[in-house]
Structure 1
Amino acid sequence: MTIRHLLLLIIIFLSLPLTTNAQETSLVSWNIRDFGKTKSAEEIENIAEILRDYDIIAIQEVVAGYGGSQAVARLADELNRKGSKWDYSISYATKSPKYKTEKYAFLWKTSKVKVIEKGALITELETCVYREPYRMRFEANGNFYTILNYHSRKYSEHPEIEVNCINDYIISHQDENIILAGDFNLAIDHPVFNTIKEYNFEACLNGNKTTLKQSCNDHSYLNHAIDNIIYDALKNELIDCGTIDFVQECEQLEAMRMLSDHLPVYMKFH
Protein backbone atom coordinates (compact mmCIF):
# COMPACT_ATOMS: atom_id res chain seq x y z
CA MET A 1 0.00 0.00 0.00
CA THR A 2 1.41 3.36 -1.02
CA ILE A 3 1.58 6.35 1.31
CA ARG A 4 -0.98 8.05 -0.93
CA HIS A 5 -3.44 5.18 -0.48
CA LEU A 6 -2.82 5.14 3.26
CA LEU A 7 -3.51 8.88 3.53
CA LEU A 8 -6.71 8.43 1.52
CA LEU A 9 -7.91 5.70 3.90
CA ILE A 10 -7.17 7.91 6.90
CA ILE A 11 -9.16 10.77 5.36
CA ILE A 12 -12.10 8.46 4.65
CA PHE A 13 -11.98 7.09 8.21
CA LEU A 14 -11.91 10.56 9.73
CA SER A 15 -14.88 11.61 7.60
CA LEU A 16 -17.08 8.74 8.81
CA PRO A 17 -19.93 9.70 11.18
CA LEU A 18 -19.38 9.23 14.87
CA THR A 19 -20.58 6.00 16.44
CA THR A 20 -23.94 5.96 18.15
CA ASN A 21 -22.24 5.94 21.56
CA ALA A 22 -20.84 9.37 20.77
CA GLN A 23 -24.18 10.82 19.71
CA GLU A 24 -25.68 13.28 22.13
CA THR A 25 -28.77 12.86 24.26
CA SER A 26 -30.77 15.86 25.39
CA LEU A 27 -32.77 16.31 28.58
CA VAL A 28 -34.97 19.26 29.51
CA SER A 29 -36.41 19.86 32.99
CA TRP A 30 -39.27 22.27 33.56
CA ASN A 31 -41.45 23.30 36.47
CA ILE A 32 -44.59 24.13 34.51
CA ARG A 33 -46.68 25.97 37.06
CA ASP A 34 -50.08 24.39 37.79
CA PHE A 35 -49.85 22.07 34.81
CA GLY A 36 -53.45 20.95 34.55
CA LYS A 37 -56.86 21.70 33.09
CA THR A 38 -56.34 25.48 33.14
CA LYS A 39 -53.76 25.24 30.34
CA SER A 40 -55.47 26.20 27.10
CA ALA A 41 -54.95 24.46 23.78
CA GLU A 42 -52.84 27.40 22.63
CA GLU A 43 -50.66 27.22 25.75
CA ILE A 44 -50.18 23.47 25.32
CA GLU A 45 -49.16 24.08 21.71
CA ASN A 46 -46.68 26.76 22.81
CA ILE A 47 -45.20 24.45 25.45
CA ALA A 48 -44.83 21.67 22.86
CA GLU A 49 -43.08 24.04 20.47
CA ILE A 50 -40.57 24.94 23.20
CA LEU A 51 -39.87 21.28 24.05
CA ARG A 52 -40.10 19.53 20.68
CA ASP A 53 -36.35 19.33 19.95
CA TYR A 54 -35.34 17.46 23.12
CA ASP A 55 -35.19 13.71 23.70
CA ILE A 56 -36.36 13.42 27.32
CA ILE A 57 -38.61 15.87 29.18
CA ALA A 58 -38.98 15.97 32.97
CA ILE A 59 -41.93 18.04 34.22
CA GLN A 60 -42.58 19.16 37.78
CA GLU A 61 -45.77 20.61 39.27
CA VAL A 62 -48.29 18.48 37.41
CA VAL A 63 -51.61 19.03 39.16
CA ALA A 64 -52.44 16.03 41.36
CA GLY A 65 -56.20 16.39 40.98
CA TYR A 66 -58.41 16.34 37.94
CA GLY A 67 -56.74 17.66 34.81
CA GLY A 68 -53.06 17.08 35.57
CA SER A 69 -52.68 13.70 33.88
CA GLN A 70 -54.91 14.91 31.05
CA ALA A 71 -52.61 17.92 30.50
CA VAL A 72 -49.62 15.60 30.11
CA ALA A 73 -51.58 13.49 27.60
CA ARG A 74 -52.56 16.64 25.72
CA LEU A 75 -48.91 17.72 25.59
CA ALA A 76 -47.83 14.30 24.29
CA ASP A 77 -50.52 14.47 21.63
CA GLU A 78 -49.35 17.93 20.56
CA LEU A 79 -45.72 16.77 20.44
CA ASN A 80 -46.77 13.85 18.25
CA ARG A 81 -48.10 16.36 15.73
CA LYS A 82 -44.64 17.91 15.35
CA GLY A 83 -42.80 15.14 13.53
CA SER A 84 -41.67 12.64 16.20
CA LYS A 85 -43.41 9.88 18.14
CA TRP A 86 -43.56 10.49 21.90
CA ASP A 87 -44.53 8.39 24.89
CA TYR A 88 -45.04 9.49 28.48
CA SER A 89 -45.24 8.37 32.10
CA ILE A 90 -47.03 10.10 34.98
CA SER A 91 -46.34 9.48 38.65
CA TYR A 92 -48.88 8.78 41.33
CA ALA A 93 -49.64 11.77 43.52
CA THR A 94 -46.86 12.43 46.03
CA LYS A 95 -47.53 11.67 49.69
CA SER A 96 -47.27 15.25 50.82
CA PRO A 97 -48.62 17.61 53.46
CA LYS A 98 -51.96 19.21 52.65
CA TYR A 99 -52.01 21.44 49.55
CA LYS A 100 -48.46 20.37 48.56
CA THR A 101 -49.30 17.17 46.69
CA GLU A 102 -48.31 17.05 43.03
CA LYS A 103 -47.48 14.62 40.25
CA TYR A 104 -44.44 14.39 38.01
CA ALA A 105 -44.18 13.42 34.35
CA PHE A 106 -41.60 12.15 31.88
CA LEU A 107 -42.02 12.33 28.12
CA TRP A 108 -39.54 10.88 25.62
CA LYS A 109 -39.00 10.36 21.89
CA THR A 110 -39.48 6.67 21.21
CA SER A 111 -37.09 6.72 18.23
CA LYS A 112 -34.18 7.79 20.44
CA VAL A 113 -35.01 6.63 23.96
CA LYS A 114 -36.04 3.30 25.48
CA VAL A 115 -37.48 2.71 28.93
CA ILE A 116 -35.40 0.27 30.98
CA GLU A 117 -37.27 0.61 34.26
CA LYS A 118 -40.77 2.02 34.67
CA GLY A 119 -41.22 5.23 36.60
CA ALA A 120 -41.86 5.12 40.36
CA LEU A 121 -41.86 7.53 43.25
CA ILE A 122 -38.97 6.87 45.65
CA THR A 123 -41.01 5.70 48.62
CA GLU A 124 -38.00 5.34 50.91
CA LEU A 125 -37.72 9.15 50.91
CA GLU A 126 -41.36 9.75 51.91
CA THR A 127 -40.56 10.66 55.51
CA CYS A 128 -37.82 13.10 54.54
CA VAL A 129 -39.28 15.07 51.62
CA TYR A 130 -42.59 16.76 50.89
CA ARG A 131 -42.69 15.42 47.33
CA GLU A 132 -40.73 12.21 46.84
CA PRO A 133 -38.69 12.23 43.57
CA TYR A 134 -39.93 10.29 40.57
CA ARG A 135 -37.28 7.97 39.17
CA MET A 136 -37.15 6.32 35.79
CA ARG A 137 -34.40 4.48 33.90
CA PHE A 138 -33.73 5.06 30.22
CA GLU A 139 -31.38 3.88 27.49
CA ALA A 140 -30.29 6.33 24.81
CA ASN A 141 -27.49 5.91 22.29
CA GLY A 142 -26.31 2.79 24.08
CA ASN A 143 -26.00 4.52 27.45
CA PHE A 144 -28.12 4.01 30.56
CA TYR A 145 -29.48 6.81 32.74
CA THR A 146 -31.49 6.90 35.96
CA ILE A 147 -33.22 10.25 36.02
CA LEU A 148 -34.68 11.61 39.26
CA ASN A 149 -37.43 14.19 38.70
CA TYR A 150 -37.73 16.39 41.79
CA HIS A 151 -39.58 19.43 43.17
CA SER A 152 -38.48 20.54 46.63
CA ARG A 153 -40.37 22.28 49.38
CA LYS A 154 -40.27 26.10 49.44
CA TYR A 155 -37.11 27.98 50.42
CA SER A 156 -38.70 29.16 53.67
CA GLU A 157 -39.32 25.50 54.62
CA HIS A 158 -35.62 24.54 54.47
CA PRO A 159 -35.31 22.41 51.32
CA GLU A 160 -31.72 21.62 52.31
CA ILE A 161 -33.20 18.99 54.65
CA GLU A 162 -34.61 17.20 51.62
CA VAL A 163 -31.53 17.64 49.46
CA ASN A 164 -29.40 16.11 52.20
CA CYS A 165 -31.57 12.97 52.12
CA ILE A 166 -31.43 12.85 48.33
CA ASN A 167 -27.65 13.14 48.51
CA ASP A 168 -27.59 10.00 50.67
CA TYR A 169 -29.85 8.21 48.19
CA ILE A 170 -27.61 9.10 45.24
CA ILE A 171 -24.44 8.06 47.06
CA SER A 172 -26.00 4.71 47.96
CA HIS A 173 -26.86 4.10 44.27
CA GLN A 174 -23.49 4.90 42.73
CA ASP A 175 -23.71 1.81 40.53
CA GLU A 176 -26.34 3.69 38.52
CA ASN A 177 -25.77 6.69 36.29
CA ILE A 178 -28.01 9.10 38.18
CA ILE A 179 -29.08 12.49 36.88
CA LEU A 180 -31.05 14.70 39.27
CA ALA A 181 -33.29 17.24 37.54
CA GLY A 182 -35.78 19.70 38.90
CA ASP A 183 -36.65 22.70 41.03
CA PHE A 184 -34.50 22.73 44.19
CA ASN A 185 -35.62 26.09 45.60
CA LEU A 186 -31.93 26.51 46.40
CA ALA A 187 -28.99 27.95 44.51
CA ILE A 188 -26.32 25.44 43.57
CA ASP A 189 -23.72 27.19 45.74
CA HIS A 190 -25.65 26.22 48.90
CA PRO A 191 -23.38 24.10 51.15
CA VAL A 192 -25.80 21.16 51.09
CA PHE A 193 -24.69 20.36 47.52
CA ASN A 194 -21.05 20.03 48.57
CA THR A 195 -21.63 16.42 49.59
CA ILE A 196 -22.43 15.08 46.14
CA LYS A 197 -19.89 17.41 44.54
CA GLU A 198 -17.29 15.42 46.47
CA TYR A 199 -18.56 12.35 44.58
CA ASN A 200 -17.85 13.96 41.19
CA PHE A 201 -21.35 15.29 40.62
CA GLU A 202 -21.56 18.64 38.88
CA ALA A 203 -24.34 21.11 38.20
CA CYS A 204 -25.40 21.91 34.69
CA LEU A 205 -26.02 25.58 35.58
CA ASN A 206 -23.92 27.76 37.82
CA GLY A 207 -25.86 30.81 38.97
CA ASN A 208 -28.13 31.14 35.95
CA LYS A 209 -31.45 32.67 37.00
CA THR A 210 -34.42 30.45 36.16
CA THR A 211 -37.55 32.04 37.64
CA LEU A 212 -39.63 34.92 36.30
CA LYS A 213 -40.52 38.09 38.17
CA GLN A 214 -44.10 39.30 38.14
CA SER A 215 -43.01 42.45 36.34
CA CYS A 216 -39.90 43.85 34.71
CA ASN A 217 -37.53 45.95 36.80
CA ASP A 218 -34.81 47.82 34.91
CA HIS A 219 -35.51 45.65 31.85
CA SER A 220 -34.89 42.48 33.86
CA TYR A 221 -37.52 39.78 34.34
CA LEU A 222 -35.36 36.95 35.75
CA ASN A 223 -35.21 36.26 39.47
CA HIS A 224 -33.84 33.23 41.36
CA ALA A 225 -31.30 30.58 40.32
CA ILE A 226 -33.09 27.52 41.71
CA ASP A 227 -33.73 25.09 38.81
CA ASN A 228 -30.90 22.82 37.71
CA ILE A 229 -29.71 19.45 36.45
CA ILE A 230 -27.03 17.62 38.45
CA TYR A 231 -25.07 14.80 36.82
CA ASP A 232 -22.16 12.43 37.41
CA ALA A 233 -19.25 14.04 35.57
CA LEU A 234 -17.32 10.74 35.45
CA LYS A 235 -20.14 8.93 33.65
CA ASN A 236 -21.39 11.71 31.38
CA GLU A 237 -19.68 14.18 29.09
CA LEU A 238 -21.46 17.53 29.06
CA ILE A 239 -21.86 18.99 25.58
CA ASP A 240 -24.14 21.94 26.24
CA CYS A 241 -26.33 23.32 28.98
CA GLY A 242 -28.53 26.33 29.52
CA THR A 243 -31.99 27.76 29.99
CA ILE A 244 -34.66 28.22 27.35
CA ASP A 245 -35.74 31.84 27.56
CA PHE A 246 -39.22 31.79 26.04
CA VAL A 247 -39.91 35.35 27.24
CA GLN A 248 -37.22 37.25 25.33
CA GLU A 249 -38.52 40.75 26.11
CA CYS A 250 -40.37 42.56 28.88
CA GLU A 251 -43.42 43.23 26.74
CA GLN A 252 -44.10 39.48 26.59
CA LEU A 253 -43.59 38.72 30.27
CA GLU A 254 -47.24 38.82 31.35
CA ALA A 255 -48.39 36.56 28.53
CA MET A 256 -45.48 34.13 28.89
CA ARG A 257 -46.04 33.76 32.64
CA MET A 258 -49.28 32.01 31.71
CA LEU A 259 -47.09 29.11 30.58
CA SER A 260 -44.95 29.05 33.71
CA ASP A 261 -43.04 31.23 36.14
CA HIS A 262 -39.91 29.11 35.55
CA LEU A 263 -37.64 28.74 32.54
CA PRO A 264 -36.86 25.22 31.32
CA VAL A 265 -33.31 23.97 31.91
CA TYR A 266 -31.71 21.77 29.25
CA MET A 267 -28.63 19.58 29.10
CA LYS A 268 -27.02 17.85 26.09
CA PHE A 269 -24.60 15.06 26.92
CA HIS A 270 -23.24 11.63 26.10
Structure 2
Amino acid sequence: MLKKLLLLCILSFHFSTYSQSREVKIISWNIRDFGKTKNSEELDKIADIVRDTDILAIQEVVSGYGGAQAVAKLADALNRKGSKWDYVISNPTNSSKYVTERYAFIWKTKYIKIKNRGFLVKELDEKVEREPFLLDFYVNGDKFTVLNFHSRPYNKDPESEIKEISKYILDRFTSPILFVGDFNVNNKNTAFTNLKDKGYKAAVVNKKTTLKKKCYRGQYVNYAIDNIYYSKKIKKVDSKVLDFIKNCTNLETGRYLSDHLPVYMKFSIVK
Protein backbone atom coordinates (compact mmCIF):
# COMPACT_ATOMS: atom_id res chain seq x y z
CA MET A 1 0.00 0.00 0.00
CA LEU A 2 2.80 2.38 0.90
CA LYS A 3 4.55 1.64 -2.38
CA LYS A 4 1.37 2.40 -4.33
CA LEU A 5 0.92 5.70 -2.54
CA LEU A 6 4.53 6.63 -3.18
CA LEU A 7 4.19 5.76 -6.87
CA LEU A 8 0.99 7.79 -7.09
CA CYS A 9 2.71 10.81 -5.53
CA ILE A 10 5.63 10.54 -7.94
CA LEU A 11 3.33 10.26 -10.97
CA SER A 12 1.19 13.14 -9.75
CA PHE A 13 4.24 15.36 -9.23
CA HIS A 14 5.63 14.38 -12.63
CA PHE A 15 2.35 15.15 -14.37
CA SER A 16 1.88 18.52 -12.68
CA THR A 17 5.47 19.50 -13.45
CA TYR A 18 5.12 18.43 -17.06
CA SER A 19 1.79 20.17 -17.57
CA GLN A 20 2.96 23.52 -16.22
CA SER A 21 4.08 25.97 -18.88
CA ARG A 22 7.31 27.82 -18.32
CA GLU A 23 6.85 31.44 -17.31
CA VAL A 24 7.83 33.96 -19.98
CA LYS A 25 8.79 37.61 -19.51
CA ILE A 26 8.06 40.11 -22.27
CA ILE A 27 8.76 43.84 -22.61
CA SER A 28 7.08 46.14 -25.12
CA TRP A 29 8.87 49.42 -25.75
CA ASN A 30 8.52 52.32 -28.14
CA ILE A 31 12.18 53.35 -28.38
CA ARG A 32 12.04 56.74 -30.03
CA ASP A 33 13.74 57.02 -33.45
CA PHE A 34 15.51 53.72 -32.85
CA GLY A 35 18.42 53.62 -35.25
CA LYS A 36 18.62 57.35 -35.78
CA THR A 37 19.85 58.76 -32.49
CA LYS A 38 21.31 55.99 -30.28
CA ASN A 39 25.05 55.73 -29.62
CA SER A 40 26.87 52.74 -28.10
CA GLU A 41 26.56 54.03 -24.53
CA GLU A 42 22.81 54.52 -24.90
CA LEU A 43 22.38 51.08 -26.46
CA ASP A 44 24.22 49.59 -23.50
CA LYS A 45 21.89 51.40 -21.08
CA ILE A 46 18.87 50.05 -22.99
CA ALA A 47 20.38 46.56 -22.78
CA ASP A 48 20.74 46.91 -19.01
CA ILE A 49 17.04 47.86 -18.70
CA VAL A 50 15.76 44.87 -20.71
CA ARG A 51 18.40 42.19 -20.00
CA ASP A 52 16.20 40.22 -17.58
CA THR A 53 13.33 39.74 -20.02
CA ASP A 54 12.87 36.84 -22.44
CA ILE A 55 11.31 38.77 -25.33
CA LEU A 56 11.65 42.43 -26.27
CA ALA A 57 9.13 43.91 -28.73
CA ILE A 58 10.28 47.25 -30.15
CA GLN A 59 8.24 49.93 -31.91
CA GLU A 60 9.53 52.95 -33.84
CA VAL A 61 12.57 51.36 -35.47
CA VAL A 62 13.55 53.73 -38.28
CA SER A 63 12.90 52.33 -41.75
CA GLY A 64 16.37 52.98 -43.19
CA TYR A 65 19.54 50.95 -42.74
CA GLY A 66 20.26 52.60 -39.39
CA GLY A 67 17.23 50.93 -37.81
CA ALA A 68 18.27 47.39 -38.69
CA GLN A 69 21.84 48.20 -37.63
CA ALA A 70 20.69 49.50 -34.23
CA VAL A 71 18.65 46.35 -33.55
CA ALA A 72 21.67 44.20 -34.40
CA LYS A 73 23.88 46.30 -32.12
CA LEU A 74 21.38 46.04 -29.25
CA ALA A 75 21.25 42.25 -29.68
CA ASP A 76 25.06 42.21 -29.60
CA ALA A 77 25.09 44.32 -26.42
CA LEU A 78 22.63 41.88 -24.83
CA ASN A 79 24.75 38.90 -25.90
CA ARG A 80 27.65 40.36 -23.92
CA LYS A 81 25.58 40.36 -20.71
CA GLY A 82 25.41 36.61 -20.15
CA SER A 83 22.65 35.19 -22.38
CA LYS A 84 22.33 34.33 -26.06
CA TRP A 85 19.84 36.45 -27.99
CA ASP A 86 18.43 36.43 -31.53
CA TYR A 87 16.37 39.03 -33.37
CA VAL A 88 14.08 39.71 -36.32
CA ILE A 89 13.28 43.02 -37.98
CA SER A 90 10.18 43.66 -40.05
CA ASN A 91 10.17 45.17 -43.50
CA PRO A 92 9.25 48.87 -43.54
CA THR A 93 5.54 49.42 -43.08
CA ASN A 94 3.56 50.45 -46.14
CA SER A 95 2.87 53.93 -44.83
CA SER A 96 2.76 57.52 -45.97
CA LYS A 97 5.98 59.49 -46.12
CA TYR A 98 7.74 60.26 -42.83
CA VAL A 99 5.69 57.76 -40.79
CA THR A 100 7.06 54.54 -42.26
CA GLU A 101 8.78 52.45 -39.58
CA ARG A 102 9.96 48.94 -38.82
CA TYR A 103 9.27 46.71 -35.84
CA ALA A 104 11.68 44.34 -34.11
CA PHE A 105 11.71 41.39 -31.74
CA ILE A 106 14.76 40.33 -29.72
CA TRP A 107 14.59 37.20 -27.57
CA LYS A 108 16.65 34.78 -25.49
CA THR A 109 17.20 31.62 -27.48
CA LYS A 110 17.64 29.24 -24.53
CA TYR A 111 13.92 28.80 -23.89
CA ILE A 112 12.18 30.82 -26.62
CA LYS A 113 12.03 29.40 -30.16
CA ILE A 114 10.59 30.50 -33.50
CA LYS A 115 9.78 28.61 -36.71
CA ASN A 116 9.54 31.57 -39.10
CA ARG A 117 10.68 35.18 -39.19
CA GLY A 118 7.27 36.81 -38.84
CA PHE A 119 5.41 39.12 -41.22
CA LEU A 120 3.62 42.44 -41.51
CA VAL A 121 -0.14 41.85 -41.65
CA LYS A 122 -0.89 42.89 -45.22
CA GLU A 123 -4.63 42.34 -44.75
CA LEU A 124 -4.61 45.47 -42.61
CA ASP A 125 -2.52 47.53 -45.00
CA GLU A 126 -5.42 49.68 -46.22
CA LYS A 127 -6.97 50.06 -42.77
CA VAL A 128 -4.06 51.22 -40.62
CA GLU A 129 -1.16 53.60 -41.09
CA ARG A 130 1.49 51.12 -39.95
CA GLU A 131 0.40 47.50 -40.29
CA PRO A 132 1.33 45.35 -37.24
CA PHE A 133 4.15 42.80 -37.20
CA LEU A 134 3.18 39.25 -36.23
CA LEU A 135 5.50 36.53 -34.94
CA ASP A 136 4.80 33.10 -33.44
CA PHE A 137 6.94 32.05 -30.47
CA TYR A 138 7.29 28.65 -28.77
CA VAL A 139 8.17 27.87 -25.16
CA ASN A 140 8.48 24.17 -24.25
CA GLY A 141 6.59 23.46 -27.47
CA ASP A 142 3.67 25.73 -26.53
CA LYS A 143 2.88 28.30 -29.21
CA PHE A 144 1.86 31.88 -28.56
CA THR A 145 1.59 34.79 -30.99
CA VAL A 146 2.72 38.37 -30.47
CA LEU A 147 1.27 41.19 -32.55
CA ASN A 148 3.52 44.27 -32.38
CA PHE A 149 1.86 47.60 -33.24
CA HIS A 150 2.43 51.37 -33.29
CA SER A 151 -0.75 53.33 -33.94
CA ARG A 152 -1.38 56.73 -35.43
CA PRO A 153 -1.06 59.77 -33.13
CA TYR A 154 -3.92 60.41 -30.70
CA ASN A 155 -5.40 63.19 -32.90
CA LYS A 156 -5.54 61.04 -36.07
CA ASP A 157 -8.08 58.43 -35.01
CA PRO A 158 -5.99 55.56 -33.63
CA GLU A 159 -9.27 54.14 -32.30
CA SER A 160 -10.36 53.03 -35.78
CA GLU A 161 -7.04 51.20 -36.24
CA ILE A 162 -7.40 49.39 -32.92
CA LYS A 163 -10.92 48.29 -33.85
CA GLU A 164 -9.75 46.91 -37.21
CA ILE A 165 -6.85 44.99 -35.66
CA SER A 166 -9.13 43.70 -32.91
CA LYS A 167 -11.49 42.32 -35.57
CA TYR A 168 -8.54 40.68 -37.35
CA ILE A 169 -7.38 39.06 -34.10
CA LEU A 170 -10.83 37.82 -33.08
CA ASP A 171 -11.63 36.46 -36.55
CA ARG A 172 -8.39 34.48 -36.93
CA PHE A 173 -6.98 33.40 -33.59
CA THR A 174 -8.05 30.93 -30.95
CA SER A 175 -4.49 30.24 -29.76
CA PRO A 176 -2.77 32.37 -27.05
CA ILE A 177 -1.99 35.86 -28.31
CA LEU A 178 -0.51 39.10 -26.99
CA PHE A 179 -1.29 42.43 -28.67
CA VAL A 180 1.53 44.78 -27.66
CA GLY A 181 2.68 48.27 -28.47
CA ASP A 182 2.07 52.00 -28.42
CA PHE A 183 -1.67 52.48 -28.97
CA ASN A 184 -1.84 56.24 -28.41
CA VAL A 185 -5.03 55.77 -26.37
CA ASN A 186 -5.67 54.71 -22.77
CA ASN A 187 -6.66 51.13 -22.00
CA LYS A 188 -10.07 52.43 -20.84
CA ASN A 189 -10.91 53.63 -24.35
CA THR A 190 -13.92 51.99 -26.00
CA ALA A 191 -11.70 51.01 -28.94
CA PHE A 192 -10.69 47.98 -26.88
CA THR A 193 -14.27 46.93 -26.05
CA ASN A 194 -14.43 44.09 -28.60
CA LEU A 195 -11.24 42.54 -27.24
CA LYS A 196 -12.34 42.94 -23.63
CA ASP A 197 -15.72 41.37 -24.41
CA LYS A 198 -13.85 38.27 -25.58
CA GLY A 199 -11.81 38.03 -22.40
CA TYR A 200 -8.71 40.06 -23.34
CA LYS A 201 -7.15 42.04 -20.51
CA ALA A 202 -4.61 44.84 -20.23
CA ALA A 203 -1.34 44.04 -18.50
CA VAL A 204 -1.27 47.45 -16.81
CA VAL A 205 -4.25 49.67 -16.03
CA ASN A 206 -4.05 53.45 -16.21
CA LYS A 207 -0.27 53.47 -15.80
CA LYS A 208 1.38 56.45 -17.47
CA THR A 209 4.15 55.54 -19.91
CA THR A 210 5.14 58.69 -21.82
CA LEU A 211 7.74 61.14 -20.55
CA LYS A 212 7.29 64.86 -20.29
CA LYS A 213 9.96 67.16 -21.66
CA LYS A 214 10.28 68.81 -18.26
CA CYS A 215 9.22 67.93 -14.75
CA TYR A 216 6.21 69.71 -13.32
CA ARG A 217 5.73 69.57 -9.54
CA GLY A 218 7.86 66.44 -9.41
CA GLN A 219 5.88 64.63 -12.13
CA TYR A 220 7.61 63.46 -15.32
CA VAL A 221 5.06 61.10 -16.91
CA ASN A 222 2.12 62.08 -19.11
CA TYR A 223 -0.12 59.51 -20.80
CA ALA A 224 -1.10 55.85 -20.29
CA ILE A 225 -0.89 54.69 -23.90
CA ASP A 226 1.58 51.76 -24.01
CA ASN A 227 0.32 48.34 -23.02
CA ILE A 228 0.15 44.58 -23.52
CA TYR A 229 -3.26 42.99 -24.13
CA TYR A 230 -3.48 39.24 -23.62
CA SER A 231 -6.02 36.53 -24.39
CA LYS A 232 -7.81 34.15 -22.00
CA LYS A 233 -5.30 31.38 -22.74
CA ILE A 234 -2.54 33.44 -21.17
CA LYS A 235 -2.18 33.74 -17.40
CA LYS A 236 -0.61 36.94 -16.12
CA VAL A 237 1.85 36.38 -13.29
CA ASP A 238 3.17 39.92 -12.93
CA SER A 239 3.20 43.22 -14.82
CA LYS A 240 4.45 46.78 -14.42
CA VAL A 241 5.83 49.84 -16.15
CA LEU A 242 9.63 49.87 -15.99
CA ASP A 243 10.47 53.32 -14.70
CA PHE A 244 14.13 53.86 -15.58
CA ILE A 245 13.80 57.60 -14.80
CA LYS A 246 12.91 57.31 -11.08
CA ASN A 247 13.29 61.03 -10.35
CA CYS A 248 13.34 64.36 -12.14
CA THR A 249 17.13 64.66 -12.14
CA ASN A 250 17.32 61.74 -14.59
CA LEU A 251 14.66 62.97 -17.00
CA GLU A 252 16.87 64.85 -19.46
CA THR A 253 19.39 62.03 -19.94
CA GLY A 254 16.65 59.38 -19.82
CA ARG A 255 14.83 60.97 -22.73
CA TYR A 256 17.90 60.31 -24.88
CA LEU A 257 16.93 56.63 -24.63
CA SER A 258 13.24 57.19 -25.35
CA ASP A 259 10.26 59.37 -24.57
CA HIS A 260 8.34 56.22 -23.53
CA LEU A 261 8.74 53.85 -20.60
CA PRO A 262 8.66 50.12 -21.37
CA VAL A 263 5.80 47.85 -20.26
CA TYR A 264 6.70 44.49 -18.70
CA MET A 265 4.64 41.34 -18.23
CA LYS A 266 5.42 37.85 -16.90
CA PHE A 267 3.00 35.15 -18.03
CA SER A 268 2.43 31.46 -18.64
CA ILE A 269 0.36 29.57 -21.21
CA VAL A 270 -2.91 28.10 -19.97
CA LYS A 271 -3.23 24.44 -21.03
User: Scaled by the length of structure 1, what TM-score is found?
Assistant: 0.93
Alignment partner of 1:269 is 2:267: yes
Within 5 Å, give how 1:75-94 maps onto structure 2.
75-94=74-93
Q: Secondary structure at the match of 1:38?
A: coil
Alignment partner of 1:200 is 2:199: yes
1:22: how far off? 3.2
Q: What is the match of residue 228 of structure 2?
A: 229
Question: Contact 1:117–1:138 (CA<8 Å) still a contact in 2?
Answer: no
Question: Contact 2:57–2:105 (CA<8 Å) still a contact in 1?
Answer: yes
1:2: how far off? 5.0
Distance 1:52 1:179 in 2: 20
Superposed CA offset, 1:42-62 (max 9, x none): 000000011111111100000
Question: Contact 1:37–1:70 (CA<8 Å) still a contact in 2?
Answer: no
Question: Contact 1:187–1:225 (CA<8 Å) still a contact in 2?
Answer: yes
Superposed CA offset, 1:169-212 (max 9, x none): 01111233221000000001111111111111111111000111
User: Scaled by the length of structure 2, what TM-score is found?
Assistant: 0.93
Q: What is the match of residue 214 of structure 1?
A: 213
Question: Contact 1:21–1:143 (CA<8 Å) still a contact in 2?
Answer: no
Alignment partner of 1:73 is 2:67: no
Alignment partner of 1:259 is 2:260: no
Distance 1:265 1:29 in 2: 5
Within 5 Å, give how 1:40-51 maps onto structure 2.
40-51=39-50
Change (3 A) 1:17 1:172: closer
Q: What is the match of residue 172 of structure 1?
A: 171
Structure 2 gap segments, 5+ residues each = none
Question: Contact 1:21–1:142 (CA<8 Å) still a contact in 2?
Answer: no
Q: Secondary structure at the match of 1:130?
A: coil
Give, as a single letter, the amino acid of the residue that structure 2 aligns with 1:199: K
Distance 2:105 2:66 in 1: 16
Q: What is the match of residue 244 of structure 1?
A: 242
Structure 1 gap segments, 5+ residues each = none
1:41: how far off? 0.5
Distance 2:20 2:13 in 1: 16
Q: What is the match of residue 127 of structure 2?
A: 128
1:10: how far off? 5.4
Distance 1:2 1:14 in 2: 17
Distance 1:16 1:136 in 2: 30
Q: What CA RMSD, in Å, does the superposition of the two structures yield over aligned residues? A: 2.1
1:13: how far off? 7.4
Change (3 A) 1:239 1:68: same
* Off by >6 Å, runs of 4+ in structure 1: 11-17
